[in-house]
Structures are given as structure tokens and as C-alpha cells.
Amino acid sequence: MHPREPADTFAPIPVVIDTDPGIDDMLALLLALNSPEIMVRGISVSYGNTTVENAFRNAVEILRRAGKRVSLGIGARRPLERAVVPASETHGASGMGYAPVPAAGVILDFMRPLERILAEQPEPVTLVTLGPLTGLALALRSDPELIRAKVRRHVAMAGNFAAKGNTTPYSEFNAWCDPEALSLVLQAELPTDLVPLDVTREFALSASDVSRLGGAEGDNARWIVEALRFYVEFHREYERLDGCVVNDVLAVAALLDPEALSFQSTRVAVDLEDGESRGRTRMASEGSLARVARQLDRDRARALLSDRVFSWAASSLPRPVLVPEMARV
């Protein structure tokens, strides 16, 4: 049984996010940080869309612009068994497209890992993973009982089933980066909800959406547009799409509005072989139990992004610099 957060509660849902920012991660983080229904208790930063050093710097910049102070840690620097292959063609060398960001200069050697962030939570949390599943896999290897006790629900943007892949014809990027980690996480059978490309490919911003935001006065709006402008150029060249798919937003939207996505319980297996099937997720009787998002209410998800991120960015002034809480060992 996968728990669902009650829609009528007034207490915000405690959430920890593992992320690899990443342009769509940036929108997902801003949505989470600007939503009263959830309380972001910690952010664990991992490799994926860019290097972990860039991703950490990007997370700090997102928090600064949101005016939030959240404990930061490190999820994973590299896959369990494979080499790091950043998605520079998708997110740019910095991970934030054309958006200006400071130099990546923080030493990360003594940052606390994901399991330490979870261990310090006073109550079970919802864990949202927006990048490769390596950080959670490492935490499960280190202390599986702790993770089971602290993770009430796990929502992962990962995988694809009927939809075509975005890394190989059969594989989604987060699953492809570290299929061994995704397989390990699924085998643990936490209460996991997968948000795959099958629904995220239905959630795209058009180039005109981005242009309209570019007409806003707010400094944050202009910064977001510079990131999205790179993302639109990538999708136009590689996906033949005049816009951009913002995958990670839906993993957060699933927490904010239970009607935005509908899930189906099934068993999921991950292909570990090299080649085009690496990281392919498939429904299989020998797989592990999870819930998979099958349908999207586009209007509900779009309203969240528009109201909580774009309207906020268009009206917001530059934020003062806040030093994030660096979660150390």
C-alpha cells in the first residue's frame, strides 16, 4: 500500500529532495519552495544533469533567489558502477543553460550524505528524487532500516514505458545514468511512485510561453527565461519540439495536487545490460512493486507552475544573499 498525503490536512508535508539541478530541476525546486502545502526539510545534491560541484552551486543559487534557507547535503558524486556522463547538451556546461551563475567553488568533501539528512528528521518524510537514484541506493546500502523508517513515500522522476526514451530510444536519462541504483531502490520496495516520461512528455512549455515570461520585469523571471531559452534550443534541435519538456515539475506537482497525476500499481524491472536497452524500465511479473503515473491532468499541473513559479518570478525583486545551511558530517 502506497500512502497518499491527505488532501484536507493543514500541516505541510515534510519533504526532502534529492536533485541534480538542471533546468527542469530548478523549476521543480522553485515550485516546492513556493508552495505552502509542503515544507522542504533538506536538499541532497547529486551528479546527473551536470557535475555535483555545478549542481551544488546551482542549488545554492536557486535557494538564494527563492529567499529560502534549507539544509544542503550531497547525495552522490558518481554512479554505483559507471562513469559520470553529464547532460551538457541538454542543460549547458553550468547546468543552468544561459542563466548566469557564480563560479562553483565550495569544497564538498565533508558534506553530509542523504542518509544523515534523513536520520535527522523528527518524523517520516516524503523523499522526492529528481535525478539518478544513486544517492538513495547508497543510503539503502548504508542503513536500510533507517531509510524504511524515515521515508514515508518516495516519488521519483524516472523511467519510461510506452513513451520513447530521452537518452536512448528505450531509456530515460535518470534510469540510464545509474540503472543499478534504480534497480536496487525498486527492489527495496519502499512506497515508491514513479513519474515516467509517459506523463512528463505530455507536460511541455511552448516557446511562446517562455517568450511571454521574458516580457516580465522581475529579475528572477529574466533569470529563469535565460535558462529556459537554452532548454528550448535543445528541444528544437534534438526533439523537433518548439518548446521544452519540464519533467521534474510533475514529481512535485504530485505532492501538491493528488488529482494532477493518477497512479497504477504494477511490478517494474530495469534492464542493466549495456547498449540501447541500458536503463530501460518495463512492467514485468518478476519486477518490484511500485506505482507508476499513467495519466496527467495538464491544466492542474500547469496552473501550479504558472501560479507558484512564473507569477512569483514576474513580480519578485532580487533577493538578498542568504548563506544556506551546509549540512556537514
Q: Which domains does the chain have, with CATH numbers?
A: 13-318 (3.90.245.10)
pLDDT at 320: 42
> Using the 8-state DSSP alphabet, how is residue 161 labeled?
S
Q: What is the DSSP string of 7-75?
A: TT--SPEEEEEEE---HHHHHHHHHHHT-TTEEEEEEEEESSSS-HHHHHHHHHHHHHHHT---EEEEE
Using CA atoms, how far apart are residues 113 and 329, in angstroms rounded to an integer? 8
Q: Which three cell numbers stand for residue 312?
A: 512569483
Q: Which three cell numbers stand for residue 176?
A: 540510464
Q: What is the pLDDT of residues 225-243, one digit of tens each?
A: 999 999 999 999 999 999 9
pLDDT at 4: 53
Q: Which three cell numbers stand for residue 222?
A: 529574466
Q: Which three cell numbers stand for residue 38?
A: 509542503
Q: Report the candidate in 99, 168, 136, 150 with the shortest Cα–Cα distance to residue 19.
A: 136
pLDDT at 321: 38
**Positions in the chain whose pLDDT score sits under 50:** 1, 6-8, 318-329
Neighbours of 208 (CB within 10 A): 10
Judged on CB neighbours under 10 Å (0-12, 13-18, 19+), 29 is: buried
Q: What CA–CA distances, in Å, run from 101 to 47, 295, 313, 326?
A: 17, 36, 17, 19
Helix (H) or strand (E) holding 79: none
Edge-to-edge strands, sheet with 71-76? 281-283, 261-270, 288-296, 192-195, 151-157, 125-129, 13-19, 38-46, 71-76, 325-326
Residue 22, preceding bond cis, omega within 30 degrees? yes
pLDDT at 108: 75
Q: Is residue 262 within 8 Å of 294, Cβ to Cβ?
A: yes
Q: Report the candidate in 164, 209, 174, 193 with the shortest Cα–Cα distance to residue 261.
A: 193
Q: Report the candidate in 296, 289, 229, 305 with the shortest Cα–Cα distance to residue 259.
A: 296
Q: Which three cell numbers stand for residue 184?
A: 536496487
pLDDT at 322: 42
pLDDT at 105: 77
Using CA atoms, how far apart are residues 76 and 45, in angstroms rounded to an integer? 7
